[in-house]
Structure 1
Amino acid sequence: ADRACRKIAHIGGHPHPDLLALRRLDAFKEIAALRGLQHVELHTDLQGFHFPEYERLAERLLEEHPDVDGIFASSDIIATHALKVCQARGRRVPQDIKIVGYDGVSLRGLFSPDLTTVSQPIAEMAQKAVDLIMAQVQGDTVPMENIFPVELIQGGTT
């Protein structure tokens, strides 16, 4: 089936320059430009998790850009709030608007439709963090950047 969107949005938390979320945003913009897609970006001014703000962000997106037919949320939590707002406003997901989250956390299956997400290997990342801390404690030099593979988990929101 054709899942192509014409105008996509990136919604997320504060795009702080030291956070990986900013790199995701940059990649989003790069791919949108390469594909010639219209795109918009909306972000909170708050750092940290603030759930009511995520719903306000999604509501603002739908008010200011009613022609948006695709949302990439910088986390699964933000994506689920976008899903809730879309459904409350009568926007059918995925027929009218498609939503993709990022993280692959276990809550993705708690909603209907279940969330399409870019899944990170969370257990592997946690183990690596512990290994790096132990190495640092022992006086070893550790790499500042570690790259893990991600996987698109297809759900009902696309």
Structure 2
Amino acid sequence: MRITRVGATALVVAGALAISACGKKAPAQLPPDPGPATSTETGQTGSYGPVAGSQADFVAKMMGADTIYFALDDSAVDAEDQTALAKQAQWLQQYPNKRATIEGHCDERGTREYNIALGERRANAAKNYLASLGIDPSRITTVSYGKERPIALGSDEASWAQNRRAVTVTID
């Protein structure tokens, strides 16, 4: 019996060594660098950063201001949110042909139906504030995801605070 175990172990080790010996060896010369990225239909990065007017450009210029946050069971736009939305409005005024969707989100507490309605109120509050800053409301659509798309997983106040939000996403 002891010989069988030793033999089996030796067979497994020999097999592992044989398989590892068949692995690919590194090439002697690496292929050339593809060079700077270019703008394509799906890509949004140019040789010097994001393409102007793209979603990547919007996110880069907003530096976090593409998202506003709300208090528990609230859809009011506070002073900090107004600053972020003013920055969004400035970008949207620079690109008058760009449209945007504002996504309303909630934390996990409450029923699905209640959170869908609350997410809609949050998205509409952001849309209305952008409209008050001169952005044509027909350029902005809203959608509510309620509690279906949390950004932070967890059942604590820190996670819930991150999930009570409205996110602006630009579209072509």
Q: Which has the higher contact order (CA 8 A, sep 6+)?
A: 2
Q: Which structure has the larger Rg over C-alpha atoms?
A: 2
